[in-house]
Amino acid sequence: MHIPVLQKEVIQYLDPKPNENFIDATFGQGGHTALILRENKPKGKVLGIDIDPAQIENAKLRTSNIELKNRLILVNDSYANLKNIVEEHNFKPINGILFDLGISSQHLEESGRGFSFQKDELLDMRYDKNQKHLTAENIINEWPEKEIEQILKEYGEERFSRKIAQEIIQARKKNPIKSTFQLVEIIKRSTPSWYQKKRIHSATKTFQALRITVNDELETIKQGLTKALDILEKEGRLVIISFHSLEDRIVKNFLKEKAKQGLIKIQTKKPIKPCFEEIKTNKRSRSAKLRAGIRI
């Protein structure tokens, strides 16, 4: 079951009040949106955005309550296009925006698109097959060794990036690498046994790097945050949850830069992390970090 992370903290820093409007820029399975709608009734609305059409379609099927339908607008698009989406739906004023940058549990468990190294699936990794043509399989089988090594090092912060890239090139000379399990076996051959016994699976960083590259995630975050600040009302709240150091660095630097420019007041001197109890009940929350600011 999907459990949204840092629920109390999201509500604390978004601070939704009756009749205020919010954007959930990473709608997913709607867990955070449900919390916001509980707080901003009777007339407050949420604009829920997700790049994966399957997530939006599933949400529409689940939303049968008429009162809720009138307060929830669902859009299949990238949050990089926030400004256009808001204009198209004439959604204003905007009192708060939430970004939960973590990969949805639905993508890992049910999508069949190769996001998880624990399932034998085709190496796709696109959130939206209609908008993106590049797949993880393309990268693994067609890109030069140096470029594969670079993304593993830069986007996965993988210490064995060179060896893994070399092994990928050798393996694909014999047969195309099409499945997640094929790639996992290559990573196992490329890394020492002690590395495979660590708490974090040895394939985690490689899969992260491929997913980020396929979906151009880091550039999309930068665009989304910039546009979020443009459309927020004064005193509007911005809350961002990140799950790895690359995302968190972008968020931290963005808030710092905008605070220097006098556009935002940072609410979190240090990132807020889940408590022990939350990690115990939802292991995926362990790497979550929340940062927040208020539009000046």
Which of 46-50, 87-91, 124-128 has the lowest average pLDDT? Answer: 124-128
Greater pLDDT, 185 or 108:
185
Q: How far apart are CA 280 and CA 243, in angstroms?
A: 17
- The answer on pLDDT for 124 being more than 90 is yes
| Among candidate residues 156, 180, 152, 178, the one with its CA nearest the CA of residue 166 | 152
Q: What is the mean pLDDT of the chain?
A: 93
The answer to whether domain 7-107+217-295 and domain 111-215 are alike in fold is: no
35-86, pLDDT tens digit by residue? 999 999 999 999 999 998 888 888 887 766 655 778 999 999 999 999 999 9
161: Cα within 13 Å, side-chain hemisphere: 20
Q: How confident is the model at residue 110 (pLDDT cuts 50, 70, 90)?
A: low
User: What DSSP letter does each residue of 224-240 carry, written as one string?
Assistant: HHHHHHHHPPTT-EEEE
Provide the whole-model pTM.
Answer: 0.92
214-262, pLDDT tens digit by residue? 999 999 999 999 999 999 999 999 999 999 999 999 999 999 999 999 9
Q: What is the pLDDT of residue 284?
A: 82
**Is the CATH number 3.40.50.620 carried by domain 111-215?**
no
Q: What percent of the chain has pLDDT over 70?
A: 95
User: What DSSP letter does each residue of 88-114 carry, written as one string?
Assistant: HTT-----EEEEE-SPPHHHHHTS-SS
Domain 7-107+217-295 belongs to what topology?
A: Rossmann fold (3.40.50)
Domain positions in the chain: 7-107+217-295, 111-215
- The answer on pLDDT for 2 being more than 70 is no
Q: Are 140 and 168 in contact (CB under 8 A)?
A: yes
Q: What is the pLDDT of residue 65?
A: 62
Residue found under tokens 């556009």? 263
- The answer on pLDDT for 155 being more than 60 is yes
Q: Are 44 and 19 in contact (CB under 8 A)?
A: yes
Mean pLDDT is highest, among 53-67, 83-97, 195-209, 271-285, for 83-97
Q: What is the pLDDT of residue 169?
A: 98
Q: How far apart are CA 190 and CA 156, in angstroms?
A: 15
